[in-house]
Structure 1
């Protein structure tokens, strides 16, 4: 391509507000782009200072059990509650639901039948079973304070935790 043709293309791009794309040689790795987060920036310092749980292991979820699969199941209309109506439950009631086939928990005063969610939990079934049959608020807040449990488990909501 001639230089006059190239300059006319640039003028056309400028006049028509067409974005210009510059291709770089793949071996040229030094891009003039600011690094984010910066090496000594507050984002990296906070992340480095945050205490990480000991022995935390990644869990490989079964095929068909991704967060998107969970969202699809929640919106499918399938009954995930397992109860006909919302109720009031005591800690004694919760203790009756502590198996993988029937796992309930309470988080912040709300009781959930988490059985359908067990295989979707990123920490694995074993990790989630730690709160089965009991009030899991404390452990949940220690490990997932940023997670919106009400939204995540809304389709599994069975009622409210009350004093016995």
Structure 2
């Protein structure tokens, strides 16, 4: 249980570092570390499939895209517009609402006994595949057709048509 609390502390720490770091590249790197701590949480919760998907998709693909976008934007202090006091006030109000919500949810949350799963194999990939291909076969196939249609549409939209002379 102490590993869970240590990783939870690291998650919160690196999430705050993501927010408060001035350099956007460092902020993205802290976000990668935060996602890694989420992967450790998934492993501790016996959800290996979610851990692998989080590791590959979020840490691998999306964070690389964030880094490329930040490098292509070429942000510097001269081109960044000054934020008005209204935007700062709205940010403070939104942060206060978030803290109020988190405080209220923590006040309601009472855990007197440790949580024990009835089925410890619930997060394994094999069990997920059995449920996916038995109970949810039709929605799975419909979503695959929808994704295939979107991919074909994206290819057709990106295709350059030859100009007629």
With a CA cutoff of 8 Å and minimum separation of 6, indicate the structure with the bigger relative contact order.
Answer: 1
**Higher percent of residues as strand:** 1
Both proteins in one fold, TM over 0.5: no
When normalised by structure 2's length, the TM-score is 0.21
